[in-house]
Structure 1
Amino acid sequence: MWLRASLVVLIISSFSSFADEVHVAGAYSTDQLRGVRAGYRITNLPIEMPTWLGSPDVHLEVALNHWQNSDNTADNITAFTISPVFSWQIAGTQRPLYVEAGIGGSYFDKTQIANRRLSTQFQFEDRVSLSWQYSQSSEARVALGYTHYSNADIKRPNDGLDFLWMSWVLPF
């Protein structure tokens, strides 16, 4: 699993001219699923949000996720995701803290892992996180978040997946 994530990061970093940030995350679910996420974020989108939304920055994030059943490592699932992410700076100037949220789409290679039945390979990805720039001398950040995958009852059963995750973000 870590070998796959390392390979994805290596591939993504070789295309760094397309990305403004690269991230690597570890994830865990109370359904005994664990996994990794590697991806990149384009931050320089020419989109201005209305002031009534608090004028968040808008980013586009693309990632590859891979999870496995902790009780049966042969039971795994992979998803490609793409999502707009809205980011609000809520504190700090030299070491800022951000709240981030987004709803995007995911394509899963299978529709079941462990006891979770997803029914469709397309899933929505809903996410919220806190991201903190931990050093004044670097724009790198750590983030803690929650992500929910569901097909919004397009087809049943719609068990969905929920993950808590921690990531390291490295801007270029």
Structure 2
Amino acid sequence: MWRITSLVVLIILSFSPLADEIHFTGAYSTDQLRGIRAGYRVTDLPVELPTWIGSPKLHVEAALNHWQDSDNTADNITALTISPILSWQITGTQRPLFVEAGIGGSYFDKTKISNRRLSTQFQFEDRVSLSWQYSHNSKARIALGYTHYSNADIKRPNDGLDFFWLSWALPF
């Protein structure tokens, strides 16, 4: 776990000139998998999206994920992910609440963890979350979300992975 943590810190520091915020996440799966995620998000993209989808903001997020089987900590898997994220502000300006969704790609170091067989190292990352800026003095946020990883039946078996997660994001 020390090696993974060191690698995450190095990746974040090397990309920090591009990033607008970093995030740290804890995840859990009903398949008895638990994990961590650390990454960064670029938020200042000069893209205007159509108003018919509610004028969300577009972000790009990259992260390193590491999960392990709760019953066998030697059984683990790591993934590098990158996803465009759409973010809709749904409440006020003092302490806003956001709905966020995205579909991106992931590269896994293995194709099996616990009883889950993924078949391919490439997986799609589908996610949805609620993100809350909990203080009007800071733009830091906490988020509660769900993520699904799957290869969209590119190859079978396609067991996929599902995670519920809690994240803390800190803008620069």
TM-score by length of 1: 0.96
Shift of 1:99: 0.2
Once the two structures are superposed, the pairs formed by residues 37-116 of structure 1 within 5 Å of their partners are 37-116=37-116
Shift of 1:2: 6.6
Paired residue for 2:149?
Answer: 149
Query: Whole-Å Cα distance in 1 between the matches of residues 130 and 6 of structure 2?
Result: 24
Identity rate, percent? 80
Q: Quick check: 1:127–1:146 contact (8 Å CA) kept in 2? A: yes
Shift of 1:17: 1.4
Amino acid paired to 1:18 = L
Paired residue for 2:128?
Answer: 128
Q: Quick check: 1:9–1:24 contact (8 Å CA) kept in 2? A: no
Classify 1:140/1:3 alpha carbon distance in 2 versus 1 (closer, same or farther; 3 Å). farther
Query: Whole-Å Cα distance in 2 between the matches of residues 51 and 6 of structure 1?
Result: 42
Shift of 1:9: 3.4
Query: Whole-Å Cα distance in 1 between the matches of residues 122 and 45 of structure 2?
Result: 25
Classify 1:111/1:7 alpha carbon distance in 2 versus 1 (closer, same or farther; 3 Å). closer
Q: Deviations over 1:30-72 (max 9, x none)?
A: 0000000000000011111100000000000000000000000
Runs of at least 5 residues in structure 1 that lack an aligned partner in the other structure: none
Query: Whole-Å Cα distance in 1 between the matches of residues 65 and 115 of structure 2?
Result: 19
Give the paired residue count. Answer: 172
Query: Whole-Å Cα distance in 1 between the matches of residues 117 and 2 of structure 2?
Result: 25
Q: Deviations over 1:86-142 (max 9, x none)?
A: 000000211000000000000000000000000000000000000000011110000
Amino acid paired to 1:71 = D
Paired residue for 1:138?
Answer: 138
SS of the residue aligned with 1:138? coil
Paired residue for 2:117?
Answer: 117
Paired residue for 1:21?
Answer: 21
Shift of 1:3: 6.4
Query: Whole-Å Cα distance in 2 between the matches of residues 95 and 9 of structure 1?
Result: 29
Amino acid paired to 2:105 = G
Runs of at least 5 residues in structure 2 that lack an aligned partner in the other structure: none
1:9 aligned onto 2:9 = yes
SS of the residue aligned with 2:40? strand
Structure 1 segments (4+ residues) deviating >3 Å:
none
